[in-house]
Amino acid sequence: MSLLPGRFYLDNFFDDFREEKKITNMNCDIYEEGGKYNIVIDIPGFNKNDIKIDVEDGYLTIEATKNIENNEEETGRQYIKRERFYGSFKRQFYIGDINDENIEAEFKDGTLKVVVPKVEEKNSKRSIEIK
Summarize pLDDT for 72-103 with one digit per residue, the tens. 666 777 878 777 767 888 999 998 888 888 99
For the chain, what is the mean pLDDT?
79
Looking at residue 101, the DSSP 8-state letter turns out to be: G
125: left (phi > 0), else alpha (psi -120 to 50), else beta?
beta
Residue 93 located in a structural domain = yes
Distance CA 128, CA 105 (A): 43
**Is residue 48 one of the residues assigned to a domain?**
yes
> Would residue 109 count as lying in a domain?
yes
Decide: helix, strand or coil at residue 79. Answer: coil
Report the CATH number at residue 108.
Answer: 2.60.40.790
Which residue range is the domain that position 102 belongs to? 21-117
32-57 confidence digits (pLDDT tens): 999 899 999 999 888 899 999 999 99
At 127, the pLDDT band (50, 70, 90 cuts) reads confident
12 within a domain of the structure (yes/no): no
Instruction: Evaluate whether 68 touches 74 at the Cβ level (below 8 Å).
Output: no
Instruction: Evaluate whether residue 35 is within a structural domain.
Output: yes
Domain count, the chain: 1
| pLDDT tier, 16 (very low <50, low <70, confident <90, very high otherwise) | low
